[in-house]
Chains A and B, each alone.
Chain A
């Protein structure tokens, strides 16, 4: 059930998108945030062998089964989170980066994120004026059960407010912003700890950017509530 092999033909200098048949799991171990249960991870591996050549490429990634929901509560105005159907009381820390000179090591990420878990936190918010964090950061958030609230590169002070008043139209090159956003989403999207994308810090991105980001991050209808069977 957890192994599929398919034959694929790719045209010369072609680039194709391939969708595997869905893999079925009965009562898999779920991934839970810190304090709610284990951070169960499965190893997903994809290999491609080319006829007459042998192994051509290999990819693998730890993956956790979890369902994260969040919505704005009409009574309090606050955002409520549920993980695997259970309400969670968020205890979070604000994060910019682990080093101002960007000497980003696995060891430092591990120590910093374990420290957050040891403090009994269950969420880290990556501020919009800083980095979109790296796969190593997310890896340790997967391991230690820290949900991640990740913001894009927009801030109130530099993108519309501040003293003097700043430019509300965001970066000059909107296409470049969106190119970087798409690439970043592809880099990070498989991590179970990734809980929420936000357009920016204390500011809504310019309308065209905001609409495009919402479109990129829209849930596929298959994953909303329908049962494929």
Chain B
């Protein structure tokens, strides 16, 4: 039985440079999942993390924050964007009850991605600081293993680093909605992959027919903080093709001692 709730996908990820993978996303997530081995381009990936974090983990490049090792890593301005365009791959199990839905959630990808799940393609549009939540109920294998591959693209304007360095390099990164320190600043050397990667949490979540989205809590305080009101709103999404009647409950509790709550 599958319970309501979230499972974080932060282990078991593999990654490979896109130019070294000859298979399509459909093939990777159906007939030809990645194989690891001496001849394979696939390596253990760091998720959440960046392409550079994965390369450091696998000792493909040295730790850029140790000594002057960063100088030995090729910059995306010199290598081209393809060099830091990477596939990420993982598997997960799902078992849904009738009327349950499975959502695949990304809390941050730098910068855009194409996603393949069991052979189905979805596009994750641009924007480093935006979340993506996909209802994948009709795509997942209800009793089996699901194959997920994500092709992550670097920022559109990674820029070049002038020989003299400088604040934000050649400033090209400012054309994108992204962190700007990655072209180097007075306190940090340029980040060679511009932080390309699945840089924040990936999760799957199971819900019933109705999903709670982004509740908002605000308090107002009166009479020298003696009288206080909590105002709460939330969005609710009905994923079915019929009207649903819901019972919506809010409760506020506080822990007085360990395992003793006041309601």
Partner of B207, one of A20, A24, A40, A57: A57
| In contact, A10 and B249 (Cβ under 8 angstroms) | no
20 new A-B contacts, CB < 8 A, other than A7-B247, A59-B215, are A8-B247, A10-B210, A11-B238, A12-B238, A19-B233, A23-B230, A42-B253, A44-B215, A56-B246, A58-B5, A59-B212, A85-B224, A100-B188, A130-B179, A153-B177, A158-B168, A163-B167, A171-B177, A180-B128, A183-B131
Q: Is A46 an interface residue (CB 8 A)?
A: yes
| In contact, B247 and A48 (Cβ under 8 angstroms) | yes
30 inter-chain pairs at a CB distance below 8 angstroms, sorted by A residue, are: A3-B251, A4-B251, A6-B249, A8-B236, A10-B237, A12-B242, A14-B238, A15-B235, A15-B236, A17-B234, A20-B250, A29-B254, A44-B232, A46-B232, A48-B249, A56-B207, A63-B219, A100-B65, A101-B64, A102-B50, A102-B199, A102-B200, A131-B179, A134-B201, A157-B185, A163-B166, A181-B129, A190-B215, A190-B216, A223-B220
| Chain B residues positioned under 8 Å from A45 (CB to CB) | 249-253
Residues of A within 8 A of B (CB): 2-20, 22-30, 40-51, 53-59, 61, 63, 65-67, 84-85, 96, 100-104, 127-132, 134, 153, 155, 157-159, 162-164, 166-167, 170-173, 176-177, 179-181, 183-184, 186-187, 189-190, 220, 222-223, 227-228
| In contact, A56 and B168 (Cβ under 8 angstroms) | no
CB distance from A186 to the nearest CB of B (A): 4
Q: Is B195 an interface residue (CB 8 A)?
A: yes
Q: Is B227 an interface residue (CB 8 A)?
A: yes
Partner of B236, one of A18, A29, A84, A158: A18
| In contact, B233 and A166 (Cβ under 8 angstroms) | no
* Residue of B127, B233, B243, B250 contacting most chain A CB atoms (<10 Å): B250
Complex formed: what's the CA distance from A7 to B131 in Å? 29
Q: Is B23 an interface residue (CB 8 A)?
A: no
| Chain A residues positioned under 8 Å from B179 (CB to CB) | 129-131, 153
| Chain A residues positioned under 8 Å from B254 (CB to CB) | 29, 40-43
Interface residue total, chain B, C-beta cutoff 8 A: 92
Contacts A24-B227, A58-B5, A166-B174; is A153 near B180 (CB within 8 Å)?
yes
CB distance from A86 to the nearest CB of B (A): 10
